[in-house]
Chain A
């Protein structure tokens, strides 16, 4: 029997979510254990300088463009920054999202007005489209792009788009679009641990490690 939209919504909120969160947790723990258990060879050289807080500072400094880079690759930095910050705001400060997080792990915080979230979503969607256009038009980026890059862009874009369409009541009835939105988020959850999207978990650890090693080698920041 074909599911109606209410059954689809209940499925994605129930068994679908169970499956997606299960695969997500499995994948994240697997990958974290795998990556961090690789280890590094013991560095036997005498440190040139004390690493100090180089690792922590690098976490922050790499968020900012290196000198001159903003002029060389403005789209990458500006649209990239806008998209990441926008995504964080939409995911973490929209009232229904907070309610979901609260029901899963018990913590909650104040939400932003939904009209403001709507605006941020549009800005984020535009930034992502600009980044996609840049990836297609810029020959170097296009050359470096693999299937995974296009795939992960789509995985990130679809939840934003369907969520926005649902709230705005566009294209499909709200119930159907809400179900599709949750379904897209579940696809994102399932693939996140096994694609480059896993940087969400590793980025700060990697930066800290690089900063510490650089400090050890005498380039403390």
Chain B
């Protein structure tokens, strides 16, 4: 896990045990913005460490609207108490994008905009985890035409360490592993250029895909129920975005290692990459045009017309030269 040396496992175990033994477990605040709760659904499926194991033994999850018993004023009170008591130390998790349109009015909690809440909560955060593609890159709300003016956490917060854990949703064990890393080492894991942990987003789906040999052999499923599909051949032609998607579905899999999209017969949608909604269609092969080639018809007509016009001009020139008894010079041949 996390590309750490074997001894790290022991260090991690003892650190996690220490966290359990500590009277105060590290405070974690989870703010939901423009989201679908898919990320929360996903993290509850983590099998190692489990979410209940984390909540009971490792962290103090002080605010999580879906999982907490409190609601309304009690919940808000818990949030503000946690932010005050753990100022500078708590881990802030954000899922969902932040709408900037109409002064942020598209998404409010307790009468305050997501933008306001994020700015306030980030001030006392030791680090921020942008959980899911919406928080990390803007995600679905940010897709064209982006009616709410949705942006990512890193578009707004510039002065706090941020780790992006994209995916729609992210892989459960990847979410909990990033939290475990932070609790163990008190720091964020090594990140790539997009702020994603390299351990989980270091390689493309395509490069670790068990169907890769079929790609190399040129064996492709052409529909979802042809012989190729039944033989488990490569889904590239059905629009799989594995080649341009950095994530670890192919290695960690989902639901305690049960399966993952490609194994169940569907191509990768590229959900851990920015702008995957607007990347030319889920069922279009990467090598296919992302949009219609509308110019071809007009271009052909203009081409023929120009060619014909230039042809007439040349003929007229030739005829004029002929009528004028012009002679060919050496310079003409050099043209």
Q: Which residues of A line the B interface, CB within 8 A?
A: 4, 6-7, 9-10, 13-15, 17-19, 21-23, 25-34, 37-39, 95-97, 99-100, 103-104, 110-115, 169, 173-175, 178
Q: Which 9 A-B pairs have the closest CB atoms?
A: A33-B307, A22-B295, A37-B311, A29-B303, A13-B290, A14-B290, A96-B287, A14-B291, A111-B218
Instruction: Check A37–B220 contact: CB distance below 8 A.
Output: no
Q: Quick one: given A33-B308, A112-B218, A115-B216, are A174 and B287 in contact (CB under 8 Å)? A: no
A103 and B291 contacting across the interface, CB-CB below 8 Å: no
A109 to chain B, nearest CB (A): 11
| A33: chain B residues within 8 A (beta carbon) | 303-304, 306-308, 310-311
* Residue numbers in B under 8 Å from A32 (CB-CB): 307
CA gap between A193 and B288 in the complex, in Å: 23
Q: Does B333 contact A (CB under 8 A)?
A: no
Binds A, one of B7-15, B116-124, B268-276: B268-276
State A100–B286 Cα separation when bound (angstroms): 9
Task: Kindly state the separation between the CA atoms of A85 and B289 in the bound complex, as whole angstroms.
Answer: 26
Q: How far is B243's CA from A13's CA once the two chains are assembled, in angstroms?
A: 15
Q: Is the CB of B243 within 8 A of A17?
A: no
Q: Does B236 contact A38, Cβ atoms closer than 8 Å?
A: no
- How many whole Å from A23's CB to the nearest CB in chain B? 7
* A187 CB to nearest chain B CB (Å): 17
Decide: A6 and B244 in contact? CB cutoff 8 A. Answer: yes
Partner of B296, one of A15, A21, A38: A21
Report the minimal beta-carbon distance from B17 to chain A, rounded to whole angstroms.
38
Cβ contacts under 8 Å, A21 to chain B: 293, 295-296, 299
List the B side residues contacting A104 at CB < 8 Å.
289, 293
Of B193, B207, B218, which contacts A113 at CB under 8 A? B218
Contact pick for B298, options A4, A22, A110, A178, CB 8 Å? A22
Q: Is the interface of B mostly helix, strand, loop or mixed?
A: helix
Contact with A along B67-105 (1 / 0, CB 8 A): 000000000000000000000000000000000000000
If over half of A's interface residues share one DSSP class (helix, strand or loop), that class is named, otherwise mixed; here it is helix
Q: Kindly state the separation between the CA atoms of A32 and B303 in the bound complex, as whole angstroms.
A: 9
Question: B43: shortest Cβ distance to chain A, in Å?
Answer: 25
Decide if A26 touches B306 in the complex (CB within 8 Å).
Answer: yes
Q: At the interface, yes or no: B215 with Cβ under 8 Å from chain A? A: yes
Enumerate chain A residues within 8 angstroms of B244, measured Cβ to Cβ.
6, 9, 174-175, 178
Which stretch, B107-115, B255-263, B277-285, touches the partner chain A? B277-285
B4 contacts A by Cβ under 8 Å: no
* Nearest neighbor of A93 in chain B, beta-carbon distance: B218
Cβ of B203 to closest chain A Cβ, rounded Å: 9
**A45–B215 CA distance with the chains assembled, in angstroms:** 60
Question: Which residues on B sit within 8 Å (CB–CB) of A169?
Answer: 207
Known: A9-B279, A175-B244. A23 touches B293 (CB 8 A): no
* B247 partner residues in chain A, CB cutoff 8 A: none
A114-B215 contact, Cβ under 8 Å, with A25-B299, A33-B307, A33-B311: yes
Cβ contact within 8 Å between B243 and A178: yes
Residues of A with C-beta under 8 A to B288: 13, 99-100, 103
Inter-chain contact B314/A14, CB cutoff 8 Å: no
A10-B279, A30-B310, A37-B311 known; A174-B204 Cβ under 8 A? yes
The complex places the Cα of A124 from the Cα of B289 at a distance, in Å, of: 26
**Shortest beta-carbon distance from A132 to chain B in Å:** 26
Interface string of B304-331 (1 = CB under 8 A from A): 1011101110110000000000000000
Contact A19 B289 (CB under 8 A): no
CB-CB nearest in chain A for B306: A30
Chain B hits for A110, CB < 8 A:
218
Q: Nearest-CB distance from B275 to chain A (Å)? A: 5
Least distance between A51 CB and chain B CB atoms (Å)? 25
Q: With A21-B296, A30-B303, A37-B315 known to touch, is A113 a contact of B289 (CB < 8 Å)?
A: no
